[in-house]
Amino acid sequence: MKNIIIASTSTLHNQGYLEYLLPTLSNHFKAGSTLIFIPYARPSGISHDDYTAKVREAFESLNIEVKGIHEFENPKEAIQSADGIFTGGGNTFLLVKQLYAHDLIPTIIAAVNQGTPYLGCSAGSNICGLTMETTNDMPITYPPSFKTFGFVPFNINPHYLDPIDGSTHMGETRETRINEFHTINSQPVIGLREGSWLKVTGHRIILEGMLTARVFEQDKAAYEVEPNTDVSTLK
């Protein structure tokens, strides 16, 4: 049974890394377990080692050991034996390219479908959707495919931002870009605001956190869903 947390972000304003999620993560992962961290997205170009150290420090308070997947000679075996998996944020194009390069996508899908708890933040959440095509990131490299995990039957736009009243900015809004996506693609998109996450338990997908999420469906007006809403019927 799938057990997944798909979080818009790892860090809220004026809080430490993962601080707002730690109470939820203490139930999601078991104390004393070993968590495999996937640092491939490398935010701001941080090294795999430095990124893993940051995550390791955050999970110390939960008595969870963190190991970076790059530390293993056989990454597939690391995933297969993991007590939990966490994919961090950064650049989604780089992340997906590395997952394909190491042939890890089928292995991670199999592990999560068999019940291994998964946490994704930002880029690590974007890849929980059907494709990565609703990422906010620059295409700094080119993955062999945009197809990702498909843990949920829609796409995700993390860090969703609403238009700012009175702004003189003339560039595209997130809503504009998602509408552009829907001129070619049919799958729904959920815009996750900072501090919100989706909790996947088996086939149930519940919006959690304090904020609403914005849902986009092809040829329909966008609409809001409240926290604790089941969005598993969205297809």
Q: Which amino acid is at 127?
A: I
pLDDT-derived band at 170 (thresholds 50, 70, 90) equals: low
Lowest mean pLDDT among 26-35, 158-167, 187-196: 158-167
Strands 155-157 and 84-87 turn out to be unpaired
Q: Is-contact 162 15, C-beta < 8 A? A: no
- The amino acid that residue 221 corresponds to is A
pLDDT at 165: 76
**Marked catalytic residue, from 122, 125, 182, 196:** 122
Least confident span in 4-8, 29-33, 145-149: 29-33
Q: Are 112 and 118 a contacting pair, CB within 8 Å?
A: yes
Average pLDDT, stretch 13-24?
Answer: 94
Assess whether pLDDT exceeds 90 at residue 25. yes
pLDDT at 54: 97
- The H-or-E segment that residue 88 falls in is none
Contacts of residue 129, Cβ cutoff 8 Å, sequence gap at least 6: 148, 149, 150, 151, 152, 154, 155, 156, 187
The confidence band for 31, taking pLDDT boundaries of 50, 70 and 90, is confident
Which domains occur in the chain, in start order? Answer: 3-161+190-212 (3.40.50.880)
**Over residues 38-56, mean pLDDT:** 97
Has 103 been annotated as catalytic?
no
**Which pLDDT band, with edges at 50, 70 and 90, does 32 fall under?**
confident
How large is the average pLDDT for residues 40-51? 97
Active site residue 13: no
| Both structure tokens of 141 | 């490299």
pLDDT of residue 119: 98
Residue 49 is a catalytic residue = no
Per DSSP, the three-state class of 121 is strand
8: DSSP letter = S
Instruction: Answer whether residue 187 shows pLDDT above 70.
Output: yes
Is residue 46 classed as helix, strand or coil in its secondary structure?
A: coil
